[in-house]
């Protein structure tokens, strides 16, 4: 059935209790410490390295350089830094969750505009899990797994195109 996560928690028995039975799965504060200024996180279970247990991906935004929407000069130039969005891997190691750090794609930490909504799916049908990322700019990106199902490694994220999604249905 569905597994509903919030910051550091899982809502168990969701069908009968909706959001009434949260259980702690990981201290969210440990994730927040990895960025300057957080506004939002998105938590997902995934068997990241195909070892049969559930790991956690956390999409987290970082507004530390961006500030807020009032940083334009009199000429309309943006004067603050970018809005960042990272994906953190929390690995299940023998039943204990351990932070493994920011996921990388193309040799650099995944960094999209705002909160990534990380999801993993075998997008290209080659048997391993690719990384799909939604974010605040409305663009869905895909990072293809160029590693293996048990040792993922990701190519740089590229925007997902409609023809990529429709390819199996086109002749």
- The pLDDT mean for the chain works out to 91
Give mean pLDDT, residues 142-161. Answer: 94
The reported pTM is: 0.89
- At 84, which helix (H) or strand (E)? strand 84-93
Alpha carbons 146 and 154: distance in angstroms, whole number: 6
pLDDT at 69: 79
Cα distances from 26 to residues 31, 32, 40, 57, 101, in angstroms, run 9, 12, 16, 12, 14
Q: Are 118 and 42 in contact (CB under 8 A)?
A: yes
Alpha carbons 171 and 93: distance in angstroms, whole number: 44
pLDDT (tens digit, 9 = 90+) per residue, 26-48? 999 999 999 999 999 999 999 99
Alpha carbons 12 and 2: distance in angstroms, whole number: 10
Q: Is the pLDDT of residue 124 over 90?
A: no
Cα distances from 111 to residues 47, 61, 99, in angstroms, run 22, 9, 18
pLDDT (tens digit, 9 = 90+) per residue, 66-107? 988 789 999 999 999 999 999 999 999 999 999 999 999 999
Give mean pLDDT, residues 116-133. Answer: 94
pLDDT at 153: 98
Q: Are 130 and 145 in contact (CB under 8 A)?
A: yes
């Amino acid at each position: 059935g569905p597994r509903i996560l919030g910051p550091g928690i899982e809502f168990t028995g969701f069908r009968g209790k909706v959001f009434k039975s949260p259980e702690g799965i990981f201290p969210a504060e440990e994730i927040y410490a990895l960025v300057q200024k957080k506004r939002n996180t998105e938590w997902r279970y995934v068997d990241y390295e195909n070892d049969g247990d559930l790991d956690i991906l956390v999409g987290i935004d970082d507004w530390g350089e961006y500030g807020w929407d009032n940083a334009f000069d009199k000429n309309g130039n943006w004067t603050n830094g970018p809005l960042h969005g990272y994906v953190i891997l929390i690995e299940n190691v023998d039943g204990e969750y351990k932070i493994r750090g920011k996921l990388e794609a193309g040799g650099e930490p995944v960094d999209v505009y705002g909160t990534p909504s990380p999801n993993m799916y075998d997008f290209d049908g080659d048997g391993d899990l690719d990384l799909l990322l939604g974010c605040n700019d409305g663009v869905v990106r895909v990072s293809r797994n160029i590693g293996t199902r048990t040792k993922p490694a990701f190519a740089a994220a590229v925007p997902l195109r409609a023809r990529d999604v429709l390819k199996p249905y086109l002749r």
